[in-house]
Structure 1
Amino acid sequence: MKLAATDFDGTFCPIHEPVPQSNIDAVKKWQAAGNKFGICTGRGLSLIDFELQKYPDLQPDYLVCNNGAVIVDKKKEILTSLTFPCEMLQGLLDMPLIHETNNPMRILTETDMYLLDIPTAMEFGLNIPMEKVTFAKAREMPKVVQVSMRCATVEEAQETTAKVRAKYPEIIGNINRNYVDLNLKEANKRDGLRRLLTVTKWQPEEIFFIGDDQNDLPAVEYFHGYTVETAQPFMKEAAKAVYPTVGDMLLRNI
């Protein structure tokens, strides 16, 4: 049995486009050969499930969500999660660069996501309705796994990450383009896949990871993974090989 894991946005699903049918067909052939397939994404469970409902023929064997903070099986049942300690979450939300930002922000629990009530003219960039919550309510939420911010630039996302980590070394900033997801530092796609193997006791003969941006880099490096032709040059340099699509990678290695 082989195990494949793909990033979703920009990798399995081109930006602002639907998932190519050729990718879905390749997944079905991969699974029919007795292999496992899953999506490894920065999206929370509710958001990736919202997308997957558009493609009933696509049935992943697992999902690694929130950059590795939440892992679920094919029935969407939680296998393991990494949640913020209450005091750390409250301290993070009280930081001036978070509490006083004009950038749109979300707070995500194991299963749901909410839009923080911030006065801003910038949209978060997701075409899905989200309930708004105040900072006061967010501070008391249980089982929070991620706080996400849409920054104006990649550089601002990097600066935000650096400032948060200076106060909380236990928090990592998973950056994807100009978005930054703040998770516990063990929540990354590399370690998420490793936890998946621990809880499922799967023992694949090979692991095939493919991604296209910064939050995929640790997994690409660790698993000697792959990237797609639309990825940034630094990803192509790190990858074992570059494929036109995820479907091409699956069929080449089936």
Structure 2
Amino acid sequence: MKLFVSDYDGTLHIDGTVDQETLDAIDVFRAQGNLFGIATGRSLSSIKNQIEIYQIPVDFIISENGAIAVDGNDKQVYFHKMPFTRVQEIIADFPKDELLYYGVSDGVVVGVHDEFNNRTSTDTTIVDIDDVMMHEKLVGLYAKLDTHANAVQFTQFINHKYEGETCAFTWFQYVVILNCGVSKHSGIDEYRKAKNLDLKPYVIGDSFNDIPMVKGFDGFAICSGREEVKEWATMCFDNVGKALKYVMSQD
């Protein structure tokens, strides 16, 4: 048995679609008794929506950059809750003059506060922030700032103020904030342990949040991905389908 984990945006989903070569390769890979999963920064509802649209066969999902996972029967495998008081404190820390909007996630849906209607997305899996905050069961936050430089500065502020507890990283103008130790790499490890899978995973990604798993598992990169990811990759492929075909050819 082999285990393959793919990032979604920019990796499995490229140029606005999931190509047929990749979908066919996933079918063949799973038919051979192997496991295929997705590790994404999206919430569960968002990635499930994409899986439904493109009819992607999966055995498990790791979402919110490793904060929550479900198996093929939609049963929760683990969940990393962030202390609610810390969420409130971080929201108070947001730099109001540079902030375009921010959101919180309970792992399933994302609640957004967008006072000035700066968002252009029509993603129906995003709801009003109060609908998520009321449950006090959150896995992380994110904020979009007006410039990349301000996003980097705020990321550094969070990592200094909450050192060892809460970790932030920058993605263009966005700042993503999670419990320290949570990543796609840690999520894959936790899923393997929970399911007693003594397998080294094959992984593939394209962007900053994929570096921990690509680096940690000697993984692959998408050739159109960021150079920072390809520097850590053992090989690069044009799509996930070609990577799966390579993996299936190995003894």
Instruction: Give the TM-score normalised by structure 1.
Output: 0.89
CA shift at 1:162, angstroms? 1.0
Deviations 1:131-182 (A, max 9, x none): 3235xx7665421012122334443332221111111121122444433321
Whether 1:76 and 2:74 are equivalent positions in the alignment is yes
Amino acid aligned to 2:123: N
Q: Residue 67 of structure 1 corresponds to which residue in structure 2?
A: 65
Deviations 1:42-93 (A, max 9, x none): 001011111111023x221111100000011112221101111122112111
* Secondary structure of the structure 1 residue equivalent to 2:231: helix
1:132 equivalent among 128, 133, 142: 128
Q: Residue 112 of structure 1 corresponds to which residue in structure 2?
A: 109
* Secondary structure of the structure 1 residue equivalent to 2:241: helix
Counterpart contact for 1:83–1:144, Cα < 8 Å: yes
Whether 1:5 and 2:5 are equivalent positions in the alignment is yes
* Secondary structure of the structure 2 residue equivalent to 1:110: coil
Q: Residue 43 of structure 1 corresponds to which residue in structure 2?
A: 42
1:123 equivalent among 119, 125, 132: 119
* Secondary structure of the structure 2 residue equivalent to 1:131: strand
Deviations 1:179-230 (A, max 9, x none): 33211112211111111111111122x3111011111111111100010111
Counterpart contact for 2:106–2:132, Cα < 8 Å: no
Whether 1:158 and 2:152 are equivalent positions in the alignment is yes
CA 1:73–1:11 in 2, change beyond 3 Å: closer, same or farther?
same
Counterpart contact for 1:171–1:183, Cα < 8 Å: yes
Q: Residue 53 of structure 2 corresponds to which residue in structure 1?
A: 54
Instruction: Give the TM-score normalised by structure 2.
Output: 0.90
CA 1:216–1:237 in 2, change beyond 3 Å: closer, same or farther?
same
Whether 1:21 and 2:20 are equivalent positions in the alignment is yes
CA 1:126–1:43 in 2, change beyond 3 Å: closer, same or farther?
farther
Counterpart contact for 1:153–1:178, Cα < 8 Å: yes
Q: Residue 252 of structure 1 corresponds to which residue in structure 2?
A: 246
Amino acid aligned to 1:60: V
Counterpart contact for 1:66–1:187, Cα < 8 Å: no
Counterparts of 2:57 and 2:170 in 1: how far apart (Å)?
Answer: 27
Query: Identity over the aligned pairs, expressed in percent?
Result: 24
Counterparts of 1:23 and 1:153 in 2: how far apart (Å)?
Answer: 35
Map 1:80-229; keep pairs closer than 5 Å: 80-97=78-95, 101-120=98-117, 122-123=118-119, 125=121, 127-128=123-124, 130-133=126-129, 140-169=134-163, 170-204=165-199, 206-229=200-223
Counterpart contact for 2:113–2:128, Cα < 8 Å: yes
Q: Compare 157-166 and 30-39 and name the one that shifted more.
A: 157-166
